[in-house]
Structure 1
Amino acid sequence: MKTLEKVNYKGFIWPIIIGIVLYLITPIRPAGLSAEAWQMFAIFVATIVGCITKPLPIGGTTLTGLVVMVLVGLAPMKDVTNAKGVVVNSGVLSAFGNSSSWLIAMAFIMAHGISKTGLGNRIAYIMIQKFGKKSIGIGYAITGLELILGALIPSNSARTGGVVWPIVQSVADDGYDSKPNDSSRKKIGAYINFTAFHANVLSTALFITGAAPNMVAQQMAVQKGYSMTWGGWFLAAIVPVLILAVIIPFVIYKMYPPEIKETPDAKEWAGGKLNEMGPMTKPEKIMTAVFILAIVMWVMSSFIKIPQLNATFVAFLAVVILLITGVLTIQDALKETGAWNILIWLSILVFMAGKLISYGFISWFSSLVSHSLHGISWELVLAILVILMFYTHYLFASGTAHVTALYLPFLSVAVATGAPVGLSAMLLAFTGAVMASTTHYANGPASVLASNGYVTQGEWWKMNFVLGLIYLIVFGTVGTLWMKVIGVW
Structure 2
Amino acid sequence: MKTLEKVNYKGFIWPIIVGIVLWCLTPIRPSGLSPQAWEMFAVFVATIVGCITKPLPIGGTTLVGLVVTVLVGLAPMKDVVNDKGVVVNQGVLSSFGNSAAWLIAMAFIMAHGISKTGLGNRIAYWMIEKFGKKSLGIGYAITGLEVILGALIPSNSARTGGVVWPVVESVAKEGYDSKPNDPSRKKIGAYIDFTAFHANILSTALFVTGAAPNMVAQQMAAQQHYEISWAGWFFAAIIPVAVCAVIVPWIIYKMYPPEIKETPDAKKWADERLKKMGPMSKPEKIMTAVFCMSLVMWVLSGFFKIPQFDATFIAFLAVSILLITGVLTMEDALKETGAWNILIWLSILMFMASKLISYGFISWFAKLVQSGLHGISWGIVLAVLVLLMFYTHYFFASGTAHMTALYLPFLSVAVATGAPLGLSAMLLAFTGAFNASTTHYANGPASILATTGYVKQGEWWKMNFVLGLVYLVIFGTIGTLWMKVIGVW
Q: Distance in 1 between matches of 2:394 and 2:240?
A: 24
Q: Distance in 1 between matches of 2:468 and 2:305?
A: 34
Alignment of 1:333-482 (within 5 A): 333-482=333-482
The CA deviation string for residues 84-139 of structure 1, in whole angstroms up to 9 with x for no partner, is 11101000000000000000000000000000011111000000000000000000
Q: Secondary structure at the match of 1:220?
A: helix
Aligned to 2:165: 165
Aligned to 1:235: 235
Aligned to 1:254: 254
Once the two structures are TM-superposed, the CA of residue 225 in structure 1 deviates from its matched residue by: 1.1
Aligned to 1:219: 219
Aligned to 1:186: 186
Q: Distance in 2 between matches of 1:113 and 1:318?
A: 10
Return the letter of the residue paired with 1:361: F
Return the letter of the residue paired with 2:79: D
Once the two structures are TM-superposed, the CA of residue 24 in structure 1 deviates from its matched residue by: 1.1
The CA deviation string for residues 277-310 of structure 1, in whole angstroms up to 9 with x for no partner, is 1111101110111111111110010111111211
Q: Distance in 2 between matches of 1:137 and 1:365?
A: 44
Q: Distance in 1 between matches of 2:361 and 2:454?
A: 35
Return the letter of the residue paired with 1:175: G
Return the letter of the residue paired with 1:311: A
Aligned to 1:318: 318
Q: Distance in 1 between matches of 2:295 and 2:456?
A: 30
Q: Secondary structure at the match of 1:88?
A: strand
Q: Secondary structure at the match of 1:152?
A: coil
The CA deviation string for residues 439-476 of structure 1, in whole angstroms up to 9 with x for no partner, is 00000000000011110110000000000000000000
The CA deviation string for residues 138-170 of structure 1, in whole angstroms up to 9 with x for no partner, is 000000000000000000000000000000000
Q: Distance in 2 between matches of 1:212 and 1:3?
A: 46
Q: Secondary structure at the match of 1:460?
A: helix
Q: Distance in 2 between matches of 1:41 and 1:348?
A: 14
Q: Secondary structure at the match of 1:452?
A: coil
Once the two structures are TM-superposed, the CA of residue 422 in structure 1 deviates from its matched residue by: 0.3
Aligned to 1:52: 52
Q: Distance in 2 between matches of 1:23 and 1:83?
A: 33
Return the letter of the residue paired with 2:365: F
The CA deviation string for residues 198-246 of structure 1, in whole angstroms up to 9 with x for no partner, is 0000000000000000000000001111100000000000000000000
Alignment of 1:229-308 (within 5 A): 229-308=229-308
Q: Distance in 2 between matches of 1:223 and 1:284?
A: 47
Aligned to 1:68: 68
Once the two structures are TM-superposed, the CA of residue 83 in structure 1 deviates from its matched residue by: 1.1
Aligned to 1:138: 138
The CA deviation string for residues 241-268 of structure 1, in whole angstroms up to 9 with x for no partner, is 0000001000000000000010000000
Return the letter of the residue paired with 1:408: L
Q: Secondary structure at the match of 1:326?
A: coil
Q: Secondary structure at the match of 1:308?
A: helix
The CA deviation string for residues 173-196 of structure 1, in whole angstroms up to 9 with x for no partner, is 111110111111010000000000
Q: Distance in 1 between matches of 2:47 and 2:446?
A: 18
Q: Secondary structure at the match of 2:471?
A: helix
Aligned to 2:92: 92
Once the two structures are TM-superposed, the CA of residue 22 in structure 1 deviates from its matched residue by: 0.5
Aligned to 1:209: 209
Q: Distance in 2 between matches of 1:133 and 1:249?
A: 16
Q: Distance in 2 between matches of 1:376 and 1:49?
A: 34
**TM-score (ref. length: structure 1):** 1.00
The CA deviation string for residues 340-376 of structure 1, in whole angstroms up to 9 with x for no partner, is 0000000000000000000000000000000000000
Q: Distance in 2 between matches of 1:154 and 1:25?
A: 43
The CA deviation string for residues 9-34 of structure 1, in whole angstroms up to 9 with x for no partner, is 00000000100110111101111000
Q: Secondary structure at the match of 2:38?
A: helix
The CA deviation string for residues 403-462 of structure 1, in whole angstroms up to 9 with x for no partner, is 000000000000000000000000000000100000000000000000111101100000
- Structure 1 portions without partners, runs of 5+: none
Q: Distance in 1 between matches of 2:308 and 2:57?
A: 35
Q: Distance in 1 between matches of 2:318 and 2:456?
A: 31
Q: Distance in 2 between matches of 1:89 and 1:343?
A: 22
What fraction of aligned residue pairs are identical, expressed as a percent? 82
Q: Distance in 1 between matches of 2:480 and 2:387?
A: 15
Q: Distance in 2 between matches of 1:178 and 1:101?
A: 28
Q: Distance in 1 between matches of 2:459 and 2:143?
A: 20
Q: Distance in 2 between matches of 1:221 and 1:324?
A: 44
Aligned to 1:129: 129
Aligned length: 489
The CA deviation string for residues 315-362 of structure 1, in whole angstroms up to 9 with x for no partner, is 000000000000000000000000000000000000000000000000
Return the letter of the residue paired with 2:297: M
Q: Distance in 2 between matches of 1:185 and 1:292?
A: 30
Q: Distance in 2 between matches of 1:181 and 1:40?
A: 35
Q: Distance in 2 between matches of 1:247 and 1:65?
A: 39
Return the letter of the residue paired with 1:23: W
Q: Distance in 2 between matches of 1:304 and 1:364?
A: 36
